[in-house]
A and B are shown apart, each in its own frame.
Chain A
Amino acid sequence: METIGRTGPWVIDESVAWVHHDDRVVLVKLAPPFTALPLRLDATGAILWSAIAQGETLEELVTYFEGDPDEVRRGIIDFVTNVLAQGLIGPADRS
């Protein structure tokens, strides 16, 4: 499970509403009392979010960016770990 969580693919949690405009994603988790303020993902975060929504794996995400692949991979893992921890995404095959 841990491996799947780190390498993808992932799915956007069904409780998350989100919009992608221009180069940013704005999202909010739909849960009582429904007063949470939306979160914004700019530039890199928005690219990653949209790619995750399309079912891309970690290795596929790495190809989205230029630079040292190991460094890029670490950055992506940080992002994924963060949004996983917030319950915004989950492993695609968790069911």
Chain B
Amino acid sequence: MTAELTLAEATHLAHAVAARAMATEDIRVLFVKGPVAVSQGLRTGGLSSDVDILCDPARVRDAIDLVHEYGWTRYSGEQTDAMAIGMHATAFTIPGWPPTIDLHANFPGMLADPQSAFERLWAAHRIVRLAHHNIPAPAPADHFVILALHALRTLAPGEQTVAMAPLKTAWASLDPRERQDVVTTARETGALEPLREVLIELGAEPGPADDRFSTALAQWRRSREHVGDSAVVWLTRWEQARWRERPELVWRAFWDISMDNSRSPQEWELATRRARALGRLRRARRGLAGVPRAINGRREKRS
């Protein structure tokens, strides 16, 4: 009687599973993107292969420990501590289920302190129904900010027109009051400058520049200017890491083959010793070659 699941069925059910799992320890979470955005009218259909959860930053460690205790497995391997290496999300899978469950400690592009950004989103949160269960979600205007940041973060500055069509659809679903709320939320969560051009293009008035987060804004802009350049990604993680986290960061960056995107962590697990050794060598070479480029990119940005 165990089911062969379609991805859509599994993703809907996994939202309910994750919501209930977090509720057992009173961990506040907001479900974002995917079917939640569809149910709020911010997205039209589309297949989602994961469950995205924005977790109360103060409880992220508890959440990770909890799902680990439940037997969910880390997508990138059991030894990978995503938070210690500056990744904004830790991905889990429930054994036998197709979707990954991404537990976000913060959302890239929200440059304000993660806790205050989360409290701002939580204060206005709503409930949507998925799989006949209550799923906590950001208010539609707040969710728009998240969707817009998500759309932009992997696009180079000149490519953002690609993101505009779905964002216009989402914008059209908001009423005038909610559109005003988008600007307010963007300002309060530090997302105003990352979204300024998009907001103007949508006809909103973003107001005066927000210069509170200049360092984080420079990092956001640099990562967009170097989309796909893993050296820049790791350099940014290095800058954001505490000193005690940096040895692990270096090891992960240059040596940990499970982090190499040329194969999935599961495929690397099954790879031959030789394939893993060659993969490590390539990764180390690529990383060393990319360091000067990443540092130069940072210097150019500063000057």
- A interface with B by C-beta (< 8 Å): 12, 15-19, 21, 26-28, 30, 32-35, 37-40
Q: Which residues of A contact B8 (CB under 8 A)?
A: 21
The CA-CA distance from A17 to B20 in the complex, in Å, is 10
- Interface residue ranges of B183-238 to A (CB < 8 Å): none
Least Cβ–Cβ distance between A18 and chain B, in angstroms: 6
The CA-CA distance from A18 to B129 in the complex, in Å, is 11
Among A16, A19, A35, the residue within 8 A (CB) of B9 is A19
Given A19-B131, A35-B95, A38-B5; A28-B13 close (CB under 8 Å): yes
Q: Which residues of B contact A34 (CB under 8 A)?
A: 17-18, 20-21, 67, 70, 72, 94
The CA-CA distance from A37 to B1 in the complex, in Å, is 10
Given contacts A17-B133, A38-B10, list 19 more A-B pairs with CB under 8 A. A16-B132, A19-B9, A21-B6, A21-B8, A26-B3, A28-B16, A30-B16, A30-B17, A32-B21, A33-B69, A34-B18, A34-B21, A34-B72, A35-B71, A37-B2, A37-B3, A38-B2, A40-B1, A40-B3
Among A12, A16, A32, the residue within 8 A (CB) of B24 is A32
Q: Which residues of A contact B4 (CB under 8 A)?
A: 40
Given A26-B3, A28-B17, A33-B70; A38-B9 close (CB under 8 Å): yes
Q: Which residues of B contact A17 (CB under 8 A)?
A: 12-13, 16-17, 20, 131-133
Count of B residues near A, CB < 8 Å?
Answer: 29
Check A26 against B20 for contact (C-beta < 8 Å): no
Q: Which residues of A contact B96 (CB under 8 A)?
A: 35, 37
Least Cβ–Cβ distance between B294 and chain A, in angstroms: 40
CB nearest to B22 among chain A residues: A34
| B97 at interface, CB cutoff 8 A | yes
Among A16, A27, A35, A39, the residue within 8 A (CB) of B94 is A35
Chain B 1-44, CB-CB to A under 8 Å as 1, else 0, gives 11111101110110011101100100000000000000000000
Q: Which residues of B contact A28 (CB under 8 A)?
A: 13, 16-17
The CA-CA distance from A35 to B18 in the complex, in Å, is 10
CB nearest to A35 among chain B residues: B71
Least Cβ–Cβ distance between B9 and chain A, in angstroms: 5
Q: Which residues of A contact B69 (CB under 8 A)?
A: 33
10 residue pairs, one from A and one from B, having the closest CB atoms: A40-B3, A17-B16, A33-B70, A17-B131, A30-B20, A34-B21, A38-B3, A26-B9, A37-B2, A19-B12
Least Cβ–Cβ distance between B29 and chain A, in angstroms: 14
Check A21 against B17 for contact (C-beta < 8 Å): no
Least Cβ–Cβ distance between B8 and chain A, in angstroms: 7
Least Cβ–Cβ distance between A56 and chain B, in angstroms: 17
